[in-house]
A and B are shown apart, each in its own frame.
Chain A
Amino acid sequence: MARVDFAGVAFAVLALLTLGSAAIVAFARNVMHSAVALLGTLCGVAGLYVLLSADFLAAAQVLVYVGGTLILFLFAAMLTARIEHAETSNEPLATGRKAAAFVTILLAFALVTIALDTIWPLEEKTVALPSTAKLGHALLGAYVLPFELASLVLLMAMVGALVIARRAVKAGPTE
């Protein structure tokens, strides 16, 4: 009896989930459907992170991306959903979908070929260690500067988003 390659199956399932959801994101007519399908993509990617022994990242992905960014998207989609042709979101551009598909496939082809052809300096990782501690050490060690700066950027983004999304205030003594 063949031993079931758990990793392979898991990979296949997760890959399928990811790519399938991505396809829905790409081809769905309704932007709400796209937004929801993104959830699948994000989760699939999280799963793949686990397979790649990036457990903290998987958790962060789910927490931040799904829990934050996706919700944000859903809000935005809903808030801007009262447009007539919001659902028809695959209008052709100047050169049309076919050209876009062609270019995209070409790009995918290029990437795949490059990836497969390149001889990566592989090293077998034997044990899937919990990565949290390693990450923590890295963040406060070698990468402390980006870490701090990232907090700054997040602050800026927050303030910026607030400022941008504010309703236009009429100049006046009232309020």
Chain B
Amino acid sequence: MKPTLDHYLVVSAILFALGLFTVITRKNAVGILLGVELILNAAALDFVAFDHFVAESRGPAGQVFVLFIIAFAASEAAVALAIVLQVYRSHRSIAVDDLTQLRN
């Protein structure tokens, strides 16, 4: 069976769903960020799949995009985790249940 675009799209969809689930249900801030990574990867996979299977009109647009995704994911992770560290220092907790100062 040769993998077609559909297969890759299904995979990325499930990956996306799992990442979303992680974001929604995790209490640990780091865990949530892990879920975000999953989501990003699913999107990236989609891009590459499209780049491979779909007619390209502007060069390797999909792959360029994924490159940027990787770069930005890294920077975003860095900043996010720096924030998490700072939060941990001030609140002694990174359970999002406790970080509800934006409430109401």
Contact = CB atoms under 8 A, between A and B. Distances in A.
Interface of A: 5, 7-8, 11, 15, 18-19, 22-23, 25-26, 31, 34-35, 38, 41-42, 45, 48-49, 51-54, 56-57, 60-61, 64-65, 68-69, 72-73, 75-77, 79-80, 83, 85-86, 88-93, 97, 100-101, 103-105, 107-108, 111-112, 115-116, 120-123, 125, 131, 134-135, 137-139, 141-143, 146, 150, 153-154, 156-158, 160-162, 164-165, 167-168
B54 interface: yes
Contacts, number: 253
Given A45-B44, A108-B16, A153-B72, 17 more contacts: A5-B1, A22-B14, A22-B19, A23-B18, A25-B18, A26-B19, A35-B30, A52-B48, A56-B63, A64-B74, A104-B18, A115-B9, A123-B54, A138-B59, A156-B75, A157-B75, A164-B79
Interface residues of B, number: 77
Majority-rule SS of A interface residues: helix
Contact of B21 (A18, A76, A104, A167): A104
Contact of A19 (B11, B21, B64, B73): B11
B64 A139 contact: yes
A165 B86 contact: yes
Interface of B: 1-3, 5-11, 13-22, 24-31, 33-35, 37-38, 41, 44-45, 48-56, 58-61, 63-64, 66-68, 70-79, 81-86, 88-89, 92-95, 97
